[in-house]
Protein backbone atom coordinates (compact mmCIF):
# COMPACT_ATOMS: atom_id res chain seq x y z
CA UNK A 1 0.00 0.00 0.00
CA UNK A 2 1.37 3.37 -1.02
CA UNK A 3 0.99 5.98 1.71
CA UNK A 4 -0.09 9.56 1.14
CA UNK A 5 0.37 12.34 3.71
CA UNK A 6 -3.05 12.73 5.36
CA UNK A 7 -2.79 16.51 5.70
CA UNK A 8 -0.20 19.25 5.54
CA UNK A 9 -0.88 22.20 7.79
CA UNK A 10 -2.66 22.69 11.09
CA UNK A 11 -4.70 20.13 12.94
CA UNK A 12 -6.45 21.38 16.07
CA UNK A 13 -6.43 19.15 19.14
CA UNK A 14 -9.92 20.26 20.06
CA UNK A 15 -11.04 21.00 23.61
CA UNK A 16 -14.18 19.31 24.90
CA UNK A 17 -16.65 21.92 26.17
CA UNK A 18 -18.71 20.94 29.20
CA UNK A 19 -21.85 22.44 30.66
CA UNK A 20 -21.83 23.50 34.28
CA UNK A 21 -23.86 20.33 34.92
CA UNK A 22 -20.81 18.37 33.76
CA UNK A 23 -22.16 16.91 30.51
CA UNK A 24 -20.68 17.63 27.08
CA UNK A 25 -21.94 20.92 25.65
CA UNK A 26 -22.97 19.80 22.16
CA UNK A 27 -23.96 23.25 20.92
CA UNK A 28 -20.67 24.80 22.01
CA UNK A 29 -18.84 21.88 20.38
CA UNK A 30 -20.57 22.48 17.05
CA UNK A 31 -19.63 26.16 17.19
CA UNK A 32 -16.02 25.28 17.94
CA UNK A 33 -15.89 22.96 14.93
CA UNK A 34 -17.33 25.64 12.64
CA UNK A 35 -14.96 28.25 14.09
CA UNK A 36 -11.95 26.05 13.36
CA UNK A 37 -13.00 25.27 9.80
CA UNK A 38 -14.01 28.83 8.94
CA UNK A 39 -10.66 30.11 10.25
CA UNK A 40 -8.65 27.83 8.03
CA UNK A 41 -7.36 24.72 9.82
CA UNK A 42 -6.80 21.58 7.79
CA UNK A 43 -7.78 18.97 10.40
CA UNK A 44 -9.57 18.57 13.71
CA UNK A 45 -8.63 16.04 16.39
CA UNK A 46 -11.38 15.40 18.95
CA UNK A 47 -10.99 13.30 22.10
CA UNK A 48 -7.27 13.72 22.53
CA UNK A 49 -5.31 14.95 25.55
CA UNK A 50 -6.58 18.51 25.02
CA UNK A 51 -10.09 17.08 24.79
CA UNK A 52 -9.80 15.54 28.28
CA UNK A 53 -10.23 12.04 26.86
CA UNK A 54 -8.96 10.53 30.11
CA UNK A 55 -12.10 11.83 31.82
CA UNK A 56 -14.61 10.73 29.17
CA UNK A 57 -16.57 7.51 29.27
CA UNK A 58 -16.33 5.32 26.17
CA UNK A 59 -19.88 6.28 25.21
CA UNK A 60 -19.11 9.99 25.63
CA UNK A 61 -15.92 9.69 23.61
CA UNK A 62 -17.70 8.05 20.69
CA UNK A 63 -20.60 10.49 20.86
CA UNK A 64 -18.14 13.39 20.85
CA UNK A 65 -16.23 12.04 17.84
CA UNK A 66 -19.43 11.33 15.94
CA UNK A 67 -20.74 14.84 16.57
CA UNK A 68 -17.50 16.38 15.28
CA UNK A 69 -17.62 14.18 12.16
CA UNK A 70 -21.20 15.18 11.46
CA UNK A 71 -20.61 18.88 12.05
CA UNK A 72 -17.43 18.95 9.95
CA UNK A 73 -19.29 17.25 7.11
CA UNK A 74 -16.15 16.35 5.14
CA UNK A 75 -14.84 19.94 5.14
CA UNK A 76 -11.57 18.98 6.88
CA UNK A 77 -9.80 15.82 7.93
CA UNK A 78 -10.94 14.34 11.25
CA UNK A 79 -8.56 12.26 13.35
CA UNK A 80 -10.08 10.70 16.44
CA UNK A 81 -8.17 10.36 19.69
CA UNK A 82 -8.61 6.73 20.67
CA UNK A 83 -5.61 5.40 22.55
CA UNK A 84 -5.26 3.17 25.59
CA UNK A 85 -2.51 1.43 27.54
CA UNK A 86 -4.22 -1.95 27.16
CA UNK A 87 -3.74 -3.13 23.58
CA UNK A 88 -7.04 -5.00 23.36
CA UNK A 89 -8.90 -1.96 24.67
CA UNK A 90 -7.01 0.30 22.25
CA UNK A 91 -8.05 -1.93 19.34
CA UNK A 92 -11.70 -1.92 20.41
CA UNK A 93 -11.76 1.85 20.88
CA UNK A 94 -9.93 2.49 17.60
CA UNK A 95 -12.40 0.34 15.66
CA UNK A 96 -15.38 2.06 17.25
CA UNK A 97 -13.92 5.52 16.59
CA UNK A 98 -13.09 4.67 13.00
CA UNK A 99 -16.62 3.45 12.40
CA UNK A 100 -17.90 7.02 12.90
CA UNK A 101 -16.30 8.05 9.61
CA UNK A 102 -13.03 9.63 10.75
CA UNK A 103 -10.02 9.65 8.44
CA UNK A 104 -7.66 8.07 10.98
CA UNK A 105 -7.16 7.44 14.68
CA UNK A 106 -4.57 9.11 16.92
CA UNK A 107 -3.19 6.46 19.27
CA UNK A 108 -1.08 7.54 22.23
CA UNK A 109 1.90 5.46 23.36
CA UNK A 110 0.91 3.02 26.12
CA UNK A 111 1.16 4.94 29.39
CA UNK A 112 1.85 3.70 32.93
CA UNK A 113 2.81 0.13 31.84
CA UNK A 114 6.23 1.40 30.63
CA UNK A 115 6.57 -1.13 27.80
CA UNK A 116 9.85 -1.86 26.03
CA UNK A 117 10.38 -0.61 22.48
CA UNK A 118 9.44 -4.09 21.24
CA UNK A 119 6.21 -3.87 23.23
CA UNK A 120 5.43 -0.49 21.69
CA UNK A 121 6.03 -1.90 18.20
CA UNK A 122 3.72 -4.85 18.77
CA UNK A 123 1.06 -2.62 20.34
CA UNK A 124 0.84 -0.52 17.19
CA UNK A 125 1.17 -3.54 14.92
CA UNK A 126 -1.98 -5.00 16.45
CA UNK A 127 -4.01 -1.78 16.32
CA UNK A 128 -3.01 -1.06 12.74
CA UNK A 129 -4.39 -4.41 11.60
CA UNK A 130 -7.80 -2.82 12.10
CA UNK A 131 -7.58 0.91 11.30
CA UNK A 132 -5.21 3.57 9.92
CA UNK A 133 -3.46 5.25 12.83
CA UNK A 134 -1.18 8.13 13.69
CA UNK A 135 1.04 7.29 16.63
CA UNK A 136 1.37 9.90 19.37
CA UNK A 137 4.63 10.21 21.23
CA UNK A 138 4.27 12.35 24.35
CA UNK A 139 6.68 11.02 26.99
CA UNK A 140 5.87 13.90 29.35
CA UNK A 141 2.42 12.33 29.76
CA UNK A 142 3.13 8.65 29.24
CA UNK A 143 6.56 8.21 30.91
CA UNK A 144 7.71 6.23 27.86
CA UNK A 145 9.47 7.56 24.77
CA UNK A 146 8.98 6.05 21.33
CA UNK A 147 12.55 6.12 20.10
CA UNK A 148 13.38 7.21 16.56
CA UNK A 149 14.54 3.70 15.68
CA UNK A 150 11.17 2.30 16.77
CA UNK A 151 9.19 4.95 14.90
CA UNK A 152 11.16 4.26 11.73
CA UNK A 153 10.70 0.52 12.14
CA UNK A 154 6.96 1.05 12.51
CA UNK A 155 6.95 3.33 9.45
CA UNK A 156 8.80 0.75 7.36
CA UNK A 157 6.99 -2.39 8.51
CA UNK A 158 3.41 -1.31 9.30
CA UNK A 159 1.85 0.48 6.29
CA UNK A 160 -1.40 1.27 8.11
CA UNK A 161 0.51 3.52 10.52
CA UNK A 162 0.40 6.70 8.47
CA UNK A 163 2.39 9.11 10.63
CA UNK A 164 3.39 10.41 14.03
CA UNK A 165 2.51 13.32 16.26
CA UNK A 166 5.88 13.97 17.87
CA UNK A 167 5.65 15.74 21.22
CA UNK A 168 8.89 14.53 22.78
CA UNK A 169 10.53 17.94 22.39
CA UNK A 170 13.67 16.08 21.35
CA UNK A 171 14.77 17.87 18.18
CA UNK A 172 17.56 15.38 17.46
CA UNK A 173 15.12 12.48 17.68
CA UNK A 174 12.59 14.20 15.43
CA UNK A 175 15.28 15.08 12.88
CA UNK A 176 16.31 11.42 12.75
CA UNK A 177 12.70 10.50 11.91
CA UNK A 178 12.41 13.26 9.30
CA UNK A 179 15.71 12.31 7.71
CA UNK A 180 14.92 8.61 7.36
CA UNK A 181 11.13 8.28 7.12
CA UNK A 182 9.68 6.48 4.10
CA UNK A 183 7.66 8.41 1.52
CA UNK A 184 4.13 9.27 2.63
CA UNK A 185 4.76 8.86 6.37
CA UNK A 186 3.55 12.07 8.01
CA UNK A 187 5.38 13.85 10.81
CA UNK A 188 3.53 16.53 12.74
CA UNK A 189 4.82 18.65 15.59
CA UNK A 190 3.12 18.00 18.89
CA UNK A 191 4.51 21.19 20.42
CA UNK A 192 3.22 24.52 19.11
CA UNK A 193 6.32 26.51 20.01
CA UNK A 194 8.66 24.38 17.88
CA UNK A 195 6.34 24.00 14.90
CA UNK A 196 8.17 26.58 12.77
CA UNK A 197 11.65 25.06 13.19
CA UNK A 198 10.30 21.55 12.65
CA UNK A 199 8.62 22.57 9.40
CA UNK A 200 11.93 24.10 8.31
CA UNK A 201 13.44 20.66 8.96
CA UNK A 202 10.77 18.92 6.89
CA UNK A 203 7.73 18.32 9.14
CA UNK A 204 4.27 18.36 7.59
CA UNK A 205 2.66 20.70 10.11
CA UNK A 206 1.29 20.45 13.61
CA UNK A 207 -1.40 18.99 15.82
CA UNK A 208 -1.95 22.08 17.90
CA UNK A 209 -3.35 23.48 21.14
CA UNK A 210 -3.01 27.20 20.36
CA UNK A 211 -5.09 26.84 17.19
CA UNK A 212 -8.10 26.36 19.46
CA UNK A 213 -7.74 30.05 20.31
CA UNK A 214 -6.26 31.62 17.16
CA UNK A 215 -6.86 29.17 14.30
CA UNK A 216 -6.62 31.85 11.64
CA UNK A 217 -3.34 33.36 12.84
CA UNK A 218 -1.63 30.07 13.63
CA UNK A 219 -2.72 28.22 10.49
CA UNK A 220 -1.50 31.19 8.43
CA UNK A 221 1.92 30.90 10.07
CA UNK A 222 2.03 27.18 9.35
CA UNK A 223 1.07 27.66 5.69
CA UNK A 224 3.70 30.37 5.27
CA UNK A 225 6.33 28.06 6.70
CA UNK A 226 5.23 25.14 4.52
CA UNK A 227 5.59 27.44 1.52
CA UNK A 228 9.11 28.42 2.54
CA UNK A 229 8.18 31.97 3.60
CA UNK A 230 10.10 31.72 6.85
CA UNK A 231 10.63 35.41 7.55
CA UNK A 232 6.89 36.12 7.39
CA UNK A 233 6.18 33.01 9.45
CA UNK A 234 8.79 34.02 12.03
CA UNK A 235 7.09 37.38 12.64
CA UNK A 236 3.85 35.61 13.49
CA UNK A 237 5.68 32.99 15.56
CA UNK A 238 7.22 35.58 17.86
CA UNK A 239 3.99 37.56 18.08
CA UNK A 240 2.05 34.56 19.37
CA UNK A 241 4.86 32.92 21.35
CA UNK A 242 3.61 34.28 24.72
CA UNK A 243 0.23 32.63 24.14
CA UNK A 244 1.83 29.36 23.01
CA UNK A 245 3.92 29.29 26.17
CA UNK A 246 1.01 30.34 28.38
CA UNK A 247 -1.02 27.33 27.25
CA UNK A 248 1.34 25.11 29.23
CA UNK A 249 1.77 27.29 32.32
CA UNK A 250 -0.57 24.80 33.98
CA UNK A 251 -1.58 21.34 32.80
CA UNK A 252 -3.16 21.32 29.34
CA UNK A 253 -6.06 21.97 28.73
CA UNK A 254 -6.54 24.22 31.76
CA UNK A 255 -5.08 27.40 30.20
CA UNK A 256 -6.57 26.97 26.73
CA UNK A 257 -10.06 26.41 28.16
CA UNK A 258 -9.65 29.51 30.33
CA UNK A 259 -8.76 31.53 27.23
CA UNK A 260 -11.71 30.14 25.25
CA UNK A 261 -14.01 30.97 28.16
CA UNK A 262 -12.64 34.54 28.16
CA UNK A 263 -13.42 34.61 24.42
CA UNK A 264 -17.01 33.53 25.26
CA UNK A 265 -16.61 30.34 23.23
CA UNK A 266 -17.17 27.88 26.09
CA UNK A 267 -17.88 27.69 29.79
CA UNK A 268 -14.76 27.29 31.92
CA UNK A 269 -15.69 23.82 33.14
CA UNK A 270 -13.30 20.91 33.65
CA UNK A 271 -13.59 17.42 35.02
CA UNK A 272 -11.68 16.52 38.13
CA UNK A 273 -8.84 16.08 38.75
CA UNK A 274 -8.43 19.15 36.51
CA UNK A 275 -9.47 22.44 38.11
CA UNK A 276 -9.88 26.02 36.83
CA UNK A 277 -6.91 28.25 36.07
CA UNK A 278 -5.31 29.63 39.22
CA UNK A 279 -5.80 33.29 40.08
CA UNK A 280 -2.06 33.95 39.92
CA UNK A 281 -2.05 33.11 36.20
CA UNK A 282 -5.35 34.72 35.21
CA UNK A 283 -3.97 38.26 35.11
CA UNK A 284 -1.14 37.06 32.92
CA UNK A 285 -3.68 35.54 30.55
CA UNK A 286 -5.61 38.80 30.30
CA UNK A 287 -2.41 40.73 29.61
CA UNK A 288 -1.39 38.35 26.81
CA UNK A 289 -4.82 38.50 25.20
CA UNK A 290 -4.91 42.27 25.39
CA UNK A 291 -1.53 42.53 23.67
CA UNK A 292 -2.44 39.96 21.04
CA UNK A 293 -5.86 41.32 20.11
Among the listed residues 96, 104, 57, the one whose alpha carbon sits nearest the alpha carbon of residue 80: 104
Taking each continuous run of H as one helix and of E as one strand, the counts in the chain are 12, 8
User: Which residue out of 136, 234, 238, 287 is catalytically annotated?
Assistant: 136
User: Which residue out of 77, 98, 124, 165 is catalytically annotated?
Assistant: 165
What whole-number distance in Å separates Cα of residue 219 and Cα of residue 76? 13
Burial class (CB in 10 A: 0-12, 13-18, 19+), 74: exposed
**114 an active-site residue?**
no
**230 an active-site residue?**
no
Identify the bridge partners of residue 105 per DSSP, sorted by sequence position.
80, 133
Mapping DSSP onto H, E and C, the string for 136-198 reads EECHHHHCCCCCHHHHHHHHHHCCCEEEEEECCCCHHHHHHHHHHCCCCCEEEECCHHHHHHH
Residues recognised as catalytic: 136, 165
Amino acid sequence: MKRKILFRGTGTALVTPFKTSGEIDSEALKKLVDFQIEKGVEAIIPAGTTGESASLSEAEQLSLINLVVQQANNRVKIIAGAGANDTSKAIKLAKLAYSTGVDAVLSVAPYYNKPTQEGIFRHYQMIAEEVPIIIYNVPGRTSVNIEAETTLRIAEEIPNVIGIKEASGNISQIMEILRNRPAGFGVWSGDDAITLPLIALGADGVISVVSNEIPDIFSKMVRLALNGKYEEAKKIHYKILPLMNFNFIESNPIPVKAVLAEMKMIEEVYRLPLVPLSDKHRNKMLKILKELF
